[in-house]
Amino acid sequence: MTKSGKRLYQVTDKLMHCFAWLSAGVVGFNFVLLTANVVMRYVFSSPIKGTPEMVAMMMAWVAYSGMAYTLLNGKHMQLEAIYEKLQGRAKNILSLFVYLLATVLFILLMKASFDVFWSSWLIKEESVASVTVYVFIGKCGAFVGWVLLSIQALLMTIYCVLAVIHPDKYEPLDAYSELLDEESVKDFVSEEAMAAAAGELPKKVEEKIEEKGEEDK
How far is residue 101 from each of residues 11, 88, 143, 215, measured CA to CA in Å? Answer: 21, 21, 19, 68
Q: Who wins on pLDDT, 28 or 79?
A: 28
pLDDT confidence of residue 33: 93
Mean pLDDT of the chain: 81
Q: Per-residue pLDDT tens for 180-213?
A: 555 554 555 555 555 555 555 555 555 655 665 6
Q: Who wins on pLDDT, 156 or 76?
A: 156
pLDDT confidence of residue 87: 77
Question: What's CA 197's distance to the chain center, in Å?
Answer: 31
- 4 pLDDT band (50/70/90 cuts)? very low
Q: Per-residue pLDDT tens for 82-133?
A: 777 777 788 888 889 999 999 999 999 999 999 999 999 999 888 877 778 8
Distance CA 9, CA 1 (A): 12
pLDDT confidence of residue 38: 94
pLDDT confidence of residue 204: 54
Distance CA 143, CA 19 (A): 13
Q: Per-residue pLDDT tens for 47-57?
A: 888 888 889 88
| 2 pLDDT more than 60 | no
Distance CA 75, CA 111 (A): 25
pLDDT confidence of residue 1: 43
Distance CA 163, CA 160 (A): 5
